[in-house]
Amino acid sequence: MSESTGFRDARYAHALKREIETLSNEKKIRIVHVCGTHEDTISQHGIRSLLPESMSLVAGPGCPVCVCAAEDVDMAIELARQGHIVTSFGDMIRVPATDTSLAKERTKGADVRIVYGANDAVEIAKKNPDKEVVFVGAGFETTAPTIAIELLRKPPSNFSILTSLKVIPPAMELLVKIEGFAVDGFITPGHVATIIGTEAFKPFAEKHGVPCVTAGFEPLDVLEAIRMILIQIAEGRATSENEYTRVVRLEGNLAAQKALEQAFRIGDVPWRGLGIIESSGYFIRDEFSEHDARKRFDFPEIESIDILPGCRCHEVILGMVDPVECPLFGKRCTPEDPYGPCMVGHEGTCRIRHEFQGI
Ligand code: SF4
């Protein structure tokens, strides 16, 4: 952490480091975050090196394309092979599914296009009225409202969405139920909380007795969130607190929540390598079923494989192994040629580890 101003001020970082050392009191403490952007901040600024040896800071399932089930990507690939225009975010295009990716299909002639959001895909649909245009929507609560809004705006009839949208709190539930994997505190994701509000994490914190602190994405945000978690632990409290007050409100973004409620219903969905998690995904409501690619198209039986032989993404996603423990890390699996989903995008734990090795 070399910068000397604002949220990267090394003097404040060292003051927080000392407070964290005192509060942790050499106790074994595991803090988990569920956000690829937090992992990027932590790795880029060497935050783990500032923590006492007794503490661990673990990356959980926080990368939207990493947790996108292979069957969702396989379905998108099938639609591309059927000759439809398939659109999605750049990272999503590169995610390896059972035996190929959308990017590889594009090299064989499929019409696969990178877009910045569902609105771009709608524009493509308007310009190509004779084609079916499918937007593959992967993401968490942060991305989902932008997709919901396009559904509510009455898109053209040749536009549909293949959803792979997930809800974060149920994945946190999964983590605390893993036997032998004690979680002492969660750093909750600032951008998810921008939508759902910090209050949304309160029932979880109280039910499981695990402090939750919503943090921003600067290094001092993360250190301060750790300090706040340690204070809750020291005082024997477990609730949801907000470090990211400059952006996140207690109640979240009510307009975005309303759009989500109108466009989607919550249901059980598969997470890559983790199986089906109850009430953890968004499904398009029946009123918009003509824009639901899952209902609009016929799909053949696809035997999808979430975790390819040798890949340890399912353990990386749960924070149970470090990416370097995967024998394929940096060898068969690199950012240029990712073998597993966690090596694809800038929110993937393996990709981040590869980028900031040695920091
Ligand atoms: S290094 Fe590659 S193969 Fe290994 S766990 Fe990560 S993404 Fe999977």
Residue found by looking up tokens 């192994």 in the block: 321
Question: Over 90: is that where the pLDDT of 359 sits?
Answer: no
Cα 274 to Cα 282: distance, rounded to the nearest angstrom: 17
| Share above pLDDT 90 across residues of the chain, in percent, rounded to a whole number | 93
3-state secondary structure of 64: coil
Ligand 1, residues 39, 63, 306, 312: which to mutate, most atoms within 8 A of Cβ? Answer: 312
The domains of the chain, with CATH numbers, are: 6-64+175-242 (3.40.50.11750)
- Output the six-digit token pair for 356: 């900031």
243 contacts 216 by C-beta, under 8 angstroms: yes
Distance 342 CA to ligand 1 centre (A): 6
The two tokens of residue 177 are: 């139920």
Cα dihedral 77→350→24→226 (10° resolution): -50
Gap from CA of 83 to ligand 1 centroid (Å): 31
340 touches ligand 1 (CB under 6 Å)? yes
Question: Which tens digits make up the pLDDT trace of 239-278?
Answer: 999 999 999 999 999 999 999 999 999 999 999 999 999 9
Closest C-alpha to ligand 1, atom 6:
350
pLDDT digits (tens, 9 = 90+) for 295-304: 999 999 989 9
pLDDT of residue 315 exceeding 70, the answer is: yes
Backbone angles phi, psi at 351, to 5 degrees: -65, -45
196's tokens: 């759902």
Q: What is the dihedral of CA 65, 66, 67, 70, to 10 degrees?
A: 80
Distance from the CA of 322 to the center of ligand 1, in angstroms?
10
Q: Which of 60, 59, 62 is nearest to 347 (CA)?
A: 62
Mean pLDDT within 330-335: 96
CB of 184 closer than 8 Å to CB of 30: yes
DSSP states of 231-272 as a string?
HHHHHT---EEES-TTT--TT--HHHHHHHHHHEEEEEEEET
Pick from 121, 125, 124, 150: nearest CA to 136 = 121
Closest residue by Cα to atom 3, ligand 1, is 311
Residue with tokens 């990211």: 244
Q: What's this model's pTM, rounded to 2 decimal places?
A: 0.93
Q: What is the distance between the alpha carbons of residues 178 and 239, in angstroms, rounded to a whole number? A: 21
| DSSP result, 87-135 | EE-HHHHH---SS--HHHHHHTT--EEE-SSHHHHHHHHHH-TTS-EEE
The pairs formed by 259-264 with CB atoms below 8 angstroms and a separation of 24 or more are 259/145, 259/148, 259/149, 259/152, 260/141, 260/144, 260/145, 260/148, 260/195, 262/148, 262/152, 263/147, 263/148, 263/149, 263/151, 263/152, 263/288, 264/144, 264/148, 264/163, 264/165
Q: Work out the pLDDT band at 3, boundaries 50, 70, 90.
A: very low
* Average pLDDT over every residue of 320-326: 94
For 23-50, how does the pLDDT look when each residue is reduced to its tens digit (9 = 90+)?
A: 999 999 999 999 999 999 999 999 999 9
* Distance in angstroms (rounded) separating the CA atoms of residues 82 and 337: 25
